Amino acid sequence: MKISKEKLEIAMVRKGMNVKDLSKKSGVSTNPIYRLMNGKGVTSKTMFLVCDALGCDITEILED
């Protein structure tokens, strides 16, 4: 499974966040967030920090 860009963007819109806002709230720099959005490799810690900032579970942003 990999991260769905569309699902991640939907979660960000629901929270009214852009990449910069998500970066500030999660404590993750913008580069790993862009990598995550583009299906590139990031650490599991990054994924969990982003999900925590968005108030969602990792399964909500994964593709089937």
Q: pLDDT by residue (tens digit) across 9-61?
A: 999 999 999 999 999 999 999 999 999 888 888 888 999 999 999 999 999 98
Q: What is the pLDDT of residue 50?
A: 94
- How many Cβ atoms are within 10 Å of 60's Cβ, its own excluded? 14
pLDDT at 1 over 80: no
55 three-state secondary structure = coil
- C-alpha separations of 16 from 13, 20, 53, 63 in Å: 5, 11, 12, 22
Q: What is the pLDDT of residue 64?
A: 74
pLDDT band at residue 2 under the 50/70/90 scheme: confident
